[in-house]
């Protein structure tokens, strides 16, 4: 297992949001965190990168407990979160956004990310603020790759995007998966999730209410209705 969470608890102020999250991700695996709004999915990702410090439990990354380390130390080990609101630099060009994220030891150079995201190569001289929403999302993922992650976490990567762009980003995530990347995906679009994932977890009120392989999830008609309110 490249990443393992054991009984993680987390708070916002006095609100006990994460109430014992346990999950694991194998090398090269794509897992999703599903669940209703407010269930604690984003907070789980934040607890992994140290933005929300867990008050209890372990975050084992390659066997070391990183819970309690500051976010920059966890990032330096290779755990990278692409947040929901993208956070690219609008006044810098596409290429500047990419090169400023680059790390010397990274296996990912500009040409590697341009191979996955050819649109970014076409737009490399454009400012980040001139990109469409879909292109900004691609840039956010590409920039994360430049930091040489070992675990990539994507928070709602296709939210609000047109179906044709969603398909493009799904294909790009598949290419990233094919390189052996371990990925945690938080996403409301179930079709996207089932196209990409090996396994799914459902988060409910800060706990894992369900886990199963993609095949088990697809075959279980009740599960979506019970936990997600869809079918």
Q: Using DSSP, state whether 86 is helix, strand or coil.
A: coil
CB of 188 to ligand ATP, least distance (A): 7
Residue 9, CB-side half-sphere exposure with 13 Å CA sphere:
8
Q: For residues 148 and 191, what is the distance between their CA atoms, to the nearest angstrom?
A: 28
Q: Using DSSP, state whether 117 is helix, strand or coil.
A: coil
Which of 10, 21, 25, 35 binds ligand ATP (CB under 6 A)? It is 35
Q: Of 163, 178, 166, which Cα lies nearest the Cα of 138? A: 166
**Binding piece for ligand ATP, criterion CB under 6 A, among 24-32, 37-45, 69-77, 96-104:** 37-45
Q: Quick check: 25 binds ligand ATP (CB under 6 A)?
A: no
Q: Of 23, 63, 58, 60, which Cα lies nearest the Cα of 40? A: 23
Residue 112, CB-side half-sphere exposure with 13 Å CA sphere:
18
**Binding piece for ligand ATP, criterion CB under 6 A, among 10-18, 23-31, 111-119, 125-133:** 10-18
- The secondary structure of 29-84 as a DSSP string is -EEEEE-STTSSHHHHHHHHHTSS--SEEEEEETTEE-TTS-HHHHHHHTEEEE-T
- Which is nearer to ligand ATP, 17 or 139 (by Cβ)? 17
For the chain, what is the radius of gyration of the CA atoms?
A: 17
- Which is nearer to ligand ATP, 13 or 222 (by Cβ)? 13
Which of 2, 3, 5, 17 binds ligand ATP (CB under 6 A)? It is 17
Q: Quick check: 40 binds ligand ATP (CB under 6 A)?
A: yes
Q: Of 51, 44, 52, 42, which Cα lies nearest the Cα of 7? A: 44
CB of 39 to ligand ATP, least distance (A): 4
- Which is nearer to ligand ATP, 15 or 104 (by Cβ)? 15
- Which is nearer to ligand ATP, 10 or 128 (by Cβ)? 10
- Which is nearer to ligand ATP, 128 or 206 (by Cβ)? 206
Which of 37, 63, 91, 164 binds ligand ATP (CB under 6 A)? It is 37
Which of 8, 21, 25, 43 binds ligand ATP (CB under 6 A)? It is 43
Q: Quick check: 32 binds ligand ATP (CB under 6 A)?
A: no
Q: Which helix (H) or strand (E) holds 218?
A: helix 214-219
CB of 119 to ligand ATP, least distance (A): 27
CB of 156 to ligand ATP, least distance (A): 7
- The binding site for ligand ATP (CB under 6 A) comprises 12, 15, 17, 35, 37-43
């Amino acid at each position: 297992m490249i990443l393992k969470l054991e009984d993680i608890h987390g708070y916002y102020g006095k609100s006990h949001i994460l109430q014992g999250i346990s999950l694991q991700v194998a090398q090269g695996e794509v897992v999703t965190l599903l669940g209703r709004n407010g269930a604690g999915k984003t907070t789980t990702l934040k607890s992994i990168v140290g933005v929300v410090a867990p008050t209890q439990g372990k975050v084992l990354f390659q066997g070391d407990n990183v819970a309690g380390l500051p976010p920059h130390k966890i990032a330096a080990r290779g755990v990278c979160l692409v947040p929901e609101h993208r956070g690219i630099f609008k006044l810098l060009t596409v290429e500047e956004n990419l090169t400023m994220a680059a790390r010397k030891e990274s296996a990912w150079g500009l040409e590697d990310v341009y191979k996955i995201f050819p649109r970014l190569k076409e737009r490399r001289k454009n400012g980040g603020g001139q990109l469409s929403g879909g292109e900004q999302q691609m840039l956010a993922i590409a920039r994360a790759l430049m930091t040489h992650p070992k675990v990539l976490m994507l928070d709602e990567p296709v939210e609000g995007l047109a179906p044709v762009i969603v398909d493009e980003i799904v294909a790009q995530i598949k290419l990233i998966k094919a390189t052996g990347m371990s990925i945690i995906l938080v996403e409301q679009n179930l079709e996207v999730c089932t196209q990409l994932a090996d396994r799914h977890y459902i988060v409910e009120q800060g706990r894992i209410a369900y886990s199963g392989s993609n095949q088990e999830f697809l075959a279980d008609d009740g599960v979506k209705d019970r936990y997600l309110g869809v079918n």
